Amino acid sequence: MSSSSRRVVVTQRFFDAETRAWLEQHGCEVVIADLPPGKGDGDLTPAELEGLLAGAAGWIVGHARVTRDLLTALPRLQVISRRGVGYERVDTDAVRDLGRVACIAAGGNDASVADHVVAMMLALGRRFRESQDRMLGGDWSILMGSDLYRKTVGIVGLGRIGRSVAQRLQGFEAEILVNTPAFDVEDLGGRLTPVGLDDLLARSDYVTLHAPLTAETRFLIDAAALTRMKPTAFLINAARGGLVDDLALLEALSSGAIAGAGLDTFMSESDPGYRPTTEALLALPNVVATPHAAASSREGLDRTNRVAAMNVVAVLDGGSPPAACVVADGRAVAPA
C-alpha cells in the first residue's frame, strides 16, 4: 500500500519525533499541520480543516469539532484518533453512519492529569498563589493554609483518571468518597466509600470532578450543588468545562460560599460568551488555573501521541484498536 493511501495528518502541537518516526516505519506519510501562533485545531474553521485533511486516511486530532459535514467532505478519511480521552466534540453517530472509526488515547494521560489534580489540591490548601502575589507586593506575612493530609476528598467519576487520583491520595491518608454510576466496593482494597452526590458535596474538603460531559452531567455542579459544599472546601475541575456552571462558581467564590477552586477547563472553551466569566474567575485570588494543560506533561504527551498513532495504524492495517480506545466503529455498518 502506498504511503499516499496512508497519509496521517496531525493537527496537534508537541507531536514527538519518535512517534512520527514510528508512524513512518509503519508505512505512513505524516503531515504535521502548521497551526497559527496561539491557535489550536479547535480554533480552525471547517474550511481550514477540510483543506488540511484533504486526502488523509488518518487524523490525529486535539480539540477540533468532528462533524458530519466535515466527514462527508473527506471520503478517504478512515480513522479519527483523539490525542486525549474526551470525545464530546466528535459526532459519533456520523462516524458510524459513514463507516469511519473514532478513537481516544485511553490510558495515555491518566498519570499526568492525576498528578496535576493533586498539585492543585496542594496549591489551593497551602495558598501558593495568594502568598506569592502578596510577596510580589512586598507583604511577606504568613497566610494560614490547610493540609491535604487526612482530609476528606470527594471524587466524582471513577474512571481511569479518578482511580489514579484515588491511588495518589492513599499516601495522604485521605478519606476518599466516590460518586460514580459503576463502582466496585472492592476497588483499591476497599478504601473508597461510595456515596450519593449530595453527601459527597456536604462532607468533602476537596471535590474533584472526573465524569464525562454528557447531557446528564452538564452543569452537574450548579448553584444548588455549590451551596451544599463546606465554606472551607475546594472544587477542582480538570475534566470538562461544562460540568460546572461557571457563573454560579464565580458567585460562590466571590461570596466565600466555598474556599477556592482549581480549574483546568472552562465553559468558554466551547462557548465564547463565557469569556468574561473565565476572565473574572482567573482574577480571583482563591483560584488556581491552567489552560487545559493537565495532560500536557512531556511524558504524558509522548504517551498519548503513541497511543493515538497506534490506533491509527491498527485501523489502516484493517484491524481494531484496543476496545478501551474505540468510541465509534462504523465499518461493519457502513453503507454499500
Residue 213 sits at φ, ψ, to 5 deg, of -90, 115
Which of 269, 279, 298, 303 does the annotation list as catalytic?
Answer: 269
Which of 100, 240, 303, 306 does the annotation list as catalytic?
Answer: 240
Is-catalytic flag, 175?
no
State how far the Cα of 13 lies from the Cα of 33, in Å rounded to an integer: 8
Specify burial of residue 245 (Cβ count, 10 A radius: 0-12, 13-18, 19+).
Answer: buried
Is-catalytic flag, 210?
no
Q: Enumerate residues 6+ apart whose C-beta is below 8 A from 63.
A: 40, 41, 42, 84, 89, 269
226 touches 249 (CB < 8 A): yes
State how far the Cα of 4 lies from the Cα of 86, in Å rounded to an integer: 29
State how far the Cα of 279 lies from the Cα of 283, in Å rounded to an integer: 6
State how far the Cα of 43 lies from the Cα of 233, in Å rounded to an integer: 35
Which of 82, 100, 292, 303 does the annotation list as catalytic?
Answer: 292
State how far the Cα of 110 lies from the Cα of 167, in Å rounded to an integer: 12
Is-catalytic flag, 26?
no
Q: Which residues are catalytic?
A: 240, 269, 292
